[in-house]
Amino acid sequence: MKKIVTFGEIMLRLATPEYQRFSQATSFQATFGGGEANVAVSLANYGLKAEFVSRLPQNDIAQACIMDLHKHGVSTENIEFGGERMGIYFLETGAVARPSKVIYDRANSSISDIKPGMINWEKVFENTQWFHWTGITPALSLSAADTVKEAIEVANRLGITVSTDLNFRKNLWKYGKKASDVMPELVSGCDIILGNEEDADMVFGIKPEGVNVASGHVDAASYQSVCVQMMTRFPRAKKIIVTLRGSVNANHNTWSGVLWNGEKLLKAPDYNITHIVDRVGGGDSFMGGLIYGLISYAGDDQKALNFAVAASCLKHTIHGDFNLVTVPEVENLMKGDGSGRVSR
């Protein structure tokens, strides 16, 4: 079995218990998470061979993180060690009309100092079928962006499928470059592109018309123009996928997605998620499900898209960044079994 490689930063996640505010909390729940690591965990849970590549400090917290990834079946053999610290993010989970808050403490983390040449991508990509990165990594530093570029170029040369989640994070682009300066060159090397309405707008100036996310309803058809514009701008891309999230409140979202394959716009079923446990990592769980679906249901883009949306729907019921669900659980939801009855 050929592996899937993901590359990016993994952080220590410190979350307030239940729905407490930062000012109330006297303790934090410590777990690990990060966009590309979250995707790798999903894929390993689905039985695929997944490897996460990053740069971490040589200390006990990093070792605990690696042990956690191993627990979920993710390979870490090509992680580079060096630098001073792991990044941290603090999470205050919102409720009803109060949104969640994230505070980053990731400046000068080990991966922000990564440089081209530190990772032997030829070695990493041995027996690899897929490489995944996100827009978070090139936002960390110019040298991190250059390392992503290096990886994409090697993957392209070796004929490996390359995917990206645009993942625009305005608070991370602080080193003198804008996302619109850096991302186009990187995305031009991608075969599969995932994003949402904000990503396409803020990074490339591409937006759907007549969309009001705050209404709690998102019209999928309005995104076809976005997909067509994206594929025209990035002709290497074979599929453009847009996640459709309507936010009624912090605990109640609608969720779906569309996929444009250059000929037809496919739409997944809508899910009404009324009691969200944890939405952080929702997009990553979608990406993990999409990669699994495109590999396992090759030629059936509709089924792959449906798997991605159902997998991500289930992630909203799980604390932490990682989506700890199985293929049978996702496929049961795809068949319409959303009753939540006890399995005995």
**pLDDT tens per residue, range 245-297:** 888 999 999 999 999 999 999 999 999 999 999 999 999 999 999 999 999 99
Confidence of residue 223 (pLDDT cuts 50, 70, 90): confident
Q: Round to whole Å and give the CA distance between 130 and 133.
A: 10
Percent of the chain predicted with pLDDT > 70: 94
Confidence of residue 211 (pLDDT cuts 50, 70, 90): low
Averaged pLDDT score across all residues of the chain: 93
Q: Which long-range contacts (CB under 8 A, 24 or more apart) does 323-330 make?
A: 323/38, 323/41, 323/42, 323/45, 323/281, 323/284, 323/285, 323/288, 323/289, 324/41, 324/45, 324/72, 325/45, 326/45, 326/46, 327/46, 327/47, 327/292, 330/289
Residue 114 CB contacts under 8 Å (≥ 6 apart), including other chains:
55, 80, 141, 143, 144, 147
Structure tokens at 213: 């996310």
Identify the CA nearest to 196 among candidates 174, 223, 172, 216. Answer: 223
Helical (H) or strand (E) element with 33: strand 29-33
pLDDT score at 63: 98
Task: Please report where in the chains the tokens 């050929």 appear, as a residue.
Answer: 2
Full-model pTM: 0.94
More confident residue, 340 or 231: 231
Residue 16 CB contacts under 8 Å (≥ 6 apart), including other chains:
22, 24, 25, 28, 29, 91, 92, 93
The domains of the chain, with CATH numbers, are: 3-333 (3.40.1190.20)
Confidence of residue 30 (pLDDT cuts 50, 70, 90): very high
Contact between 52 and 32 (Cβ < 8 Å): no
Pairing of strands 80-81, 88-92: unpaired
Across 111-125, average pLDDT: 97
Q: Is the pLDDT of residue 218 over 60?
A: no
pLDDT tens digit sequence for 12-21: 999 999 899 9
Contact between 230 and 216 (Cβ < 8 Å): no
Q: For 163, what's the count of Cα atoms within 13 Å in the CB-facing half-sphere?
A: 28
Contact between 15 and 91 (Cβ < 8 Å): yes
Q: Is the pLDDT of residue 219 over 90?
A: no
